[in-house]
Every structure is written in structure tokens, then in C-alpha cells.
Amino acid sequence: MAPHRFLAVLGLPVLFLGVAAADDVRLNQIQVVGSHNSYHIEPAPGVLEVIARANVRGAENLQYTHPPLAEQFQSRKIRQIELDVFADPEGGLFADPPIRKLALLTGKDAGPEADPDGRLRKPGIKVLHVPGVDYRTTAPTLVDALQQVRAWSQANPRHVPLMILVELKTPETARITGKAVPFDAERLAALEAEILSVFPREEILTPDDVRGESASLPDAIHTRGWPKLDAVRGRVMFALDNTGAERETYLQGHPALAGRLMFASVDEKNPAAAWFKMNDPIKDFEAIQRLVKAGFMVRTRADADTRQARDGSTTMRDKALASGAQFVSTDYPVPDSRLTDYHVALPGGVVAHSNPISGDRAWDGRDLEKQD
């Protein structure tokens, strides 16, 4: 029997002997490691060479590969992923990347076909980085990615919630090829429909679940707090990466995100404020800490554009972890043997630990994904 449960049976305080009950941990009181562009596979050598001819540093930025999502969850202890998504209502927009054809014409190693099984030619939301250029992915479609997540989740039902960050790619962000369809209200409805085609609503921690009967998400967080960790194990939560027009369209007609599946990064005074995207933990270190102390949740990054893995710098990583951001995203949960030994992991190799800002220090050293 776990120590705190034994003490409870005896009628003794749970904090006796300095043991804090894991049952009391709330979702915002943990910290986990996430992966950036979690679907990404490094371009084939010939494609990378073509990219480097135009932009050497741009090619270097793409030299990282993540394994399939289940492997990230299982062996790399990732609990937050990021998916870049493109609307493709008719199908086929991304099935024939021009840069692969160029690499083949010049006799270079262009790697495997972009669409060997025809999934990219079917209608539906696609997952990739840069259309026509950086297109290799372990999950060609959103449904495929989510099915991978749900299969692992069902096989490991006591995991801490998996946060899925969704970035809506638009014509502007895909301006190299101009093949992206805007995410208007209709396309956003299609996005949520695809999510619900894989995950039943009860398996998703939604803004409605957190807000409850409160008038706004900040009111709920300040008065009732985030759910207890044990109450939301085995679930997923979605967050919208975009902060521009797509976010405003997503919020329109849904005050405080009522009825929506995804959290959104907004001003902290907004009725929809609960989670924030703050990618620079050095510049925003104090702001992140303040938000976490106020009960909000934050995602930040430990590295960017392969820079830290190339020079071995840990400043950004260390700031990210110390900031208290609940989700710390990286391209390197393990080192890249071609570069340095740089990588991101929680102390002691745990999956989830007590948040350095909002957590209870009595929980330090414990893996909060594991139940006593």
C-alpha cells in the first residue's frame, strides 16, 4: 500500500513524515517534455542538398527526425506533441512535392515517394512542415496522427494527459508553393470533426471541462483550479498554436471557448485565457513564471532551428525548465550523434515531475505519472 494511503487508513494526516499525496496534484502542477514538429523526418540527402543551394542555414534547420509518435511516448517520455496541419478538402495538394522532382532530375537521392499509399490524394487535413519542400512525415494525415496517439493512450490508460498542439498552416505560411487552403470557419469545423472521428469527446479535456459553471476560464482557474491529475489521466487536450486571424475565427461565436475542443493562447484578461504559447523562455522568463504562479499553463521551447544541438548551449533549455512552463518542447529528447550531446530530459529521467514554480516541493524526485 502507498505510504499516504496507509496513513489515511490510520487516520493520520497525509503530510505526516513529509509524504504528500499524489492524489492532490493538479494538472498545472506538473512539468513534462514535448517534441517540436513531432511528425518531422529530415529531408532525404538529395533534397537537402537542393535546399542548401538556396539557403545553407535553412537546410541545417531541417536536420532533425522524430520517431513515430508511439515511440516518442514510450521510450522518449514525450507528453506533448505538435502537429502542423494543412486543409486539403479535395485531396492531392501535397502528393507531388516539386523539390523531390528537382532532386531526381539532377540525379540526387530523393528518398522514398512522398505518397506511396495514396493517402495524400484523398480529401482531409494533412500533416507536414513546408509543402513541396520539407514534406516527409510519420503521420501524413491528421486522422492518422490522432489514431497513433489514441492507440498508445488506450494501451497506457494511466498516462498524464497528452497535450496536442495544433498549428494551422495558411497560404502565408506556405507561400513557397501557395498550395494551402485558408482555415475559415468551415475548415475549422472540419478540423474538429476529424478530431472527434478519432477521440470521443469524453477522452478530451476541453475548455468546457475546465470552466465548468464559471463565467470564464480565468475565473474557474482562480476559484476552482485545474482538474486533479488523477481525474484526467488517460485523456488528451488540444491547444491552438495560432495567435492571428485563425485564432479569432476559432473564438468567434464561442465566448470563453464554449463548445470548442482546443484551448487558445490569448491575453490573460480574455475570458478564454487558460493556456499560453510563449516560445522564448529567455526573453519571457519572468512573464512565464508570473503566469504559472497565477495558475495558468504555458508551453515554451528549449531549443530552435538546431542551434543548441550544434553548439551544445543549454541556456535556453535551462531557462525553459526553470520557468515553470508545464510543457517544454524540444527537437532533441535524445542527443543527435552527428552533433553534440545536447538533449532535453527531466531530472532523474522521469516522465512528469513536480512543477518548479506551481508544484509542491514534497513531490520533488517523484515521477508523477506513476501512482504509488
Cβ atoms 250, 264 nearer than 8 A: yes
Residues in CB range of 347: below 8 A, 6 or more apart: 353
- Whether 171 shows a pLDDT value over 90: the answer reads no
Q: Let me know the angle formed at the C-alpha of 12 by 9 and 13, rounded to the nearest 5 degrees.
A: 120
Q: How far apart are the first and last CA of the chain?
A: 8
Q: How confident is the model at residue 170 (pLDDT cuts 50, 70, 90)?
A: confident
DSSP letter for each residue of 90-137: SS-TTSS-HHHHHHHHTT----S-S-TTSGGGSSS-EE-SBTTTB--B
Q: Let me know the angle formed at the C-alpha of 96 by 90 and 98, rounded to the nearest 5 degrees.
A: 130
User: Parallel, antiparallel, or unpaired: how do β-strands 78-86 and 162-168 relate?
Assistant: parallel
What digits encode the pLDDT tens for the residues 187-218? Answer: 999 999 999 999 999 999 999 999 999 999 99
Q: How confident is the model at residue 50 (pLDDT cuts 50, 70, 90)?
A: very high
Q: CA-CA distance, 194 to 174, in Å (whole number)?
A: 22
Percent of the chain with pLDDT over 70: 91
* Residue 363 per-residue DSSP state: G
What digits encode the pLDDT tens for the residues 285-332? Answer: 999 999 999 999 999 999 999 999 999 999 999 999 999 999 999 999
pLDDT for the residue numbered 180: 74
Percent of the chain with pLDDT over 90: 86
What digits encode the pLDDT tens for the residues 4-39? Answer: 443 333 443 333 333 445 578 999 999 999 999 999
Torsion 94-100-105-106 (CA) sign: positive
What digits encode the pLDDT tens for the residues 208-263? Answer: 999 999 999 999 999 999 999 999 999 999 999 999 999 999 999 999 999 999 99
